[in-house]
Amino acid sequence: MDLLSGTYIFAVLLACVVFQSGAQEKNYTVREEMPENVLIGDLLKDLNLSLIPDKSLTTPMQFKLVYKTGDVPLIRIEEGTGEIFTTGARIDREKLCAGVLVDTRCFYEVEVAVLPDEIFRLVKIRFLIEDINDNAPLFPATVINISIPENSAINSRYALPAAIDPDIGINGVQNYQLIKGQSIFGLDVTETPEGEKMPQLIVQKELDREEKDTYVMKVKVEDGGFPQRSSTAILQVSVADTNDNRPVFKENEIEVSIPENAPVGTSVTQLHATDADIGENARIHFYFSNLVSNMAKRLFHLNSTSGLITIKEPLDREESPNHRLLVLASDGGLIPARSMVLVNVTDVNDNVPSIDIRYIINPINGTVVLSENSPLNTKIALVTVTDKDADLNGRVTCFTDHEVPFRLRPVFSNQFLLETAAYLDYESTREYAIKLLAADAGKPPLNQSSMLLIKVKDENDNAPVFTQPFISLSVPENNSPGTQLTKISAMDADTGHNAEINYLLGIDAPSEFNLDRRTGILTAAKKLDREKQEKYSFTVLAKDNGMPPLITNATVLVTVLDQNDNSPIFTHNEYNFYVPENLPRHGTVGLITVTDPDYGENSAVTLSILDASDDFTIDPQTGVIRPNISFDREKQEYYTFYVKAEDGGRVSRSSTAKVTINVVDVNDNKPVFVVPSSNYSFELVLPSTNPGTVVFTVVAVDNDTGMNAELHYSIVGGNTKGLFMIDQTTGNITLKEKCVPADLGLHKLVVKVKDLGQPDSLFNVVNVNLFVNESVTNATLIYELVRKNIETPVTQSIETSDTSSPSSDYVKIVVAIVAGTITVILVIFITAVVRCRQSPHLKAAQKNKQNSEWVTPNPENRQMIMMKEKKKKKKHTPKNLLLNFVTIEETKADDADNDGNSVTLDLPIELEEQTMGKYNWGTTPTTFKPDSPDLARHYKSASPQPAFQIQPETPLNSKHHIIQELPLDNTFVGCDSISKCSSSSSDPYSVSECSYPVTTFKTPVSVHTRLTDSRTSTIEIYSEI
């Protein structure tokens, strides 16, 4: 396992080292004449590229064959996999390596670029072309003529022309055969020092020219390839007269050197041959062997007589550096002499370097198109410089003639990679004409230049730029749709599609605007209204047509200018104001509010009253309406006029609104009774009338309106037996219970009517006399009773804020008696004892003060009434601290005339009388609650002191002692001695117009209750000094 790991690491390191070198070589062997699409090799595996660690590549690995423009490559490479295949082009070794010495191997070279640039490597691939037996050996001619002297000895040998086979090795000439030799001739094959096989004809029998002078045979030549190829030629042998000696060369092999620039006619060498014969047999003829190449025969001339070899055509070392000239010398005999002349052509710096550009990036019409976004070291082309000269004359350097953002990096011998050396910018330079210079090291040096055109391709690397990043413009409102506002323009440093700009509205752009996509003209698509929106702020976009497109935005601020296109607007089409009829002159009636959506002077509104009368005025700026008159609803209930609002525009606009001022009633009229028409009328009620029957209807009217005229009826006096009740809304008096004989007679009811005016509630009272009897036998007597009854005031009911009735208190007492019978009996007993021991002078004072007048304490004095229930033993107050008392009793008798409960009030005699007229709110103290009238203002009664019922607001405690502040809205109404006492809570704004005398307390009093028995309770009121 360790060995494998080490091997793997070594392979990776080796691959990295090879790649770091920047250039690699790889050899493959391929046979000639291979068919198309034959796999030759796999670069990905053979170069160990799969072992390279993964890298983040911009594009997948690619193998690109680099070859000269115009050449037809003999192989192809799969760009994605690196697999090498043959193409349809014929691989012919004999054609590829023509002019190369036979013993030299034949190679075909190509370069492959491994992309992308992050892993770029240049690989030189050398293909060794293997020979196949695709050529048959051929004789120089189809008929071979040879002359043999008739005196030739047996086993004499005569050279025959050799056959030529372009193939090499075993595929070349291997054997010769003589067909139909007739046993006179045989054939042998000898091998020259150069390795060539030469056929020789052998004489096997003596020849006799006179017997037969010509022999015709066939010579067959064969190669050693598979399949074997061969050819034949006709051999015609002539028997000639005897020639004893053959020519002999002085030198069998000569090597000479001659510069390639030697002029035509220059002598190369002089051959010398001799012949021992004389005469015609000693005349020597020089000629080239058929083994001499056609090129050599074309370049050199051999004088057949003198044997001088001269230059027939200019030599070119680069075409062929050496030539083998096999020269034969014949004196007409059968076997010529042989001499090999080896001519070496020496180099002269007569060739300028050549520049071969093989493009890695395929050119378009001879021009390389390179993106301006190309990274550094982008490979453009493989530049190969060559010089056919040798040594220093063939050593070439290559460079560019001026500063360009490109460089030549050497990779192989005389091969350079042209790559980018700096970033390209289309906007600064769009095209480069690179002049490549190649110079050799000869003296004088020769140089060559080549132009390479590179066009920089524009990329969309520049976003459009607005000429104004912030565009502010104004437009009057009420424009016509389609009005042109401005032309938005932007510029793009790119070209072509990348510089084509489309203008767009941003997503925040309102629908009121349009932007032409091509021209950038901004128009108002709709009619603008400043009153709806004064400013529009949105973005516009400039987008080019590049891929991907680049976008720039600018802000547009459109201000809509005001025009006086709006009339003043009243908040209401019609104004209705309600004012009290007691509103003072020049008071405030109301406020007219006007708006104008326009701006500036166009929205400055002035108000005026269109009516000619000057009953009212209006402030032209604030819109406050004030009266110049005093109101009286009873005279005129409303006023109507029109108000005009006019703006300050150059061409002013105006509007009007109707104003109605309604005079609101003030509660300045008290109710007036219509039925009964006077206090002296009476109504007969039959004793047989059923309960619930309406026996009389009270009717009152009020000249006010609304709540001020809404009336409520109540019985506030009389009705001592509680026989009647009244409906507070209709005024219907109905019989409450069935009449009994004790109920016969005249019943006086004090009926009160009050309005619901706020805050001043006014009221009035009237006497309703109901005569319960079967008939009216003596009307005069009844009227007299009515008159006397009027002169004797009735007992007034006490109005308190406590709505609890006496019966409810009795229920509580009964419950208490049931719960604690012993305690109740004890309390009753103690109370009875105390009552019996009451001082006679106090009782006399009580009787003497029956006619005294009293009312509730004045709330301004905040007098405190202390109520204390007597305990088992009454505490005796010192006599010097007691004032005179008045005892008011209400006794619940068992007889039919009086079934009420008895309540006794001990009141101080020191009372102050004062008469109260109509209640005047103007004198109400500021300390009063708004809904609490002064309790000191009441009507007074001239009748004897009536009995009262007082209900405390809270239950008394076990000590029966509490300090209570009387409610401010309590009203105490008296009733006469023959009627039942009742209490009700009056309206807090009720005001009495009665002329009853009123009394008030001057000092605080304490209220003590004493229970005398189960049916009688006593309350003592005394003053503490």
3-state secondary structure of 748: strand
Task: Give the model's pLDDT for residue 73.
Answer: 86
Q: Pairing state of beta strands 143-149 and 121-130?
A: unpaired
Gap between the terminal Cα atoms of the chain: 128
Tokens of 196: 């060539």
Task: Give the model's pLDDT for residue 523.
Answer: 94
Task: Give the model's pLDDT for residue 538.
Answer: 95
Asked if 408 and 383 touch (Cβ cutoff 8 Å), the reply is: yes
Question: What separation in angstroms does the CA of 324 have from each of 168, 294, 344?
Answer: 18, 11, 9
Asked if 589 and 619 touch (Cβ cutoff 8 Å), the reply is: no
* Residue type, position 652, single letter: S
Task: Give the model's pLDDT for residue 280.
Answer: 67
Residue 1006 parent element (H or E)? strand 1005-1011
Closest CA to 309 of 249, 268, 361: 268
Q: How does pLDDT run across 180-204, given as a tens digit for each residue?
A: 877 889 999 988 877 788 898 998 8
Q: How far is CA 991 from the centre of its chain?
A: 74
Q: How far is CA 133 from the centre of its chain?
A: 78
Burial class of 144 by CB neighbour count within 10 A (0 to 12, 13 to 18, 19+): buried
Tokens of 897: 């005339």
Task: Give the model's pLDDT for residue 814.
Answer: 59
Q: How does pLDDT run across 740-763, given as a tens digit for each residue?
A: 888 888 888 999 999 988 777 889
Task: Give the model's pLDDT for residue 556.
Answer: 95
Alpha helices (H) in 211-315, listed in sequence order: 294-299
Task: Give the model's pLDDT for residue 333.
Answer: 67
Nearest-angstrom CA–CA distance, 292 and 198:
14
∠ CA 212-215-219, nearest 5°, is 165
Tokens of 80: 């994605």
Question: What separation in angstroms does the CA of 493 have from each of 186, 427, 598?
Answer: 92, 7, 46
* Residue type, position 588, single letter: T
Query: Given CA atoms 841, 844, 850, 852 in this order, what sign does their dihedral have?
Result: negative
Asked if 865 and 972 touch (Cβ cutoff 8 Å), the reply is: no
Query: Given CA atoms 158, 161, 163, 168 in this order, what sign does their dihedral have?
Result: positive
Task: Give the model's pLDDT for residue 508.
Answer: 92
Report the predicted TM-score, pTM, of the whole model to 2 decimal places.
0.48
Q: What is the mean pLDDT of each run of 10 residues along the chain (1025 residues)?
A: 41 41 80 90 85 66 82 87 90 79 77 83 88 88 86 85 87 89 86 83 86 89 91 89 74 91 92 78 83 87 92 88 89 79 89 88 89 88 87 87 88 88 90 91 88 90 91 92 93 89 93 93 92 93 91 94 91 92 88 90 91 86 92 87 92 92 85 88 89 92 84 90 90 90 88 85 90 85 83 48 40 64 84 70 44 34 35 38 34 38 36 33 34 34 34 36 32 33 34 34 36 36 33
Asked if 867 and 1009 touch (Cβ cutoff 8 Å), the reply is: yes
Phi and psi at 39, nearest 5°, equal -70, 125
Peptide bond into 952 cis (omega under 30): no
Q: Pairing state of beta strands 551-561 and 535-544?
A: antiparallel
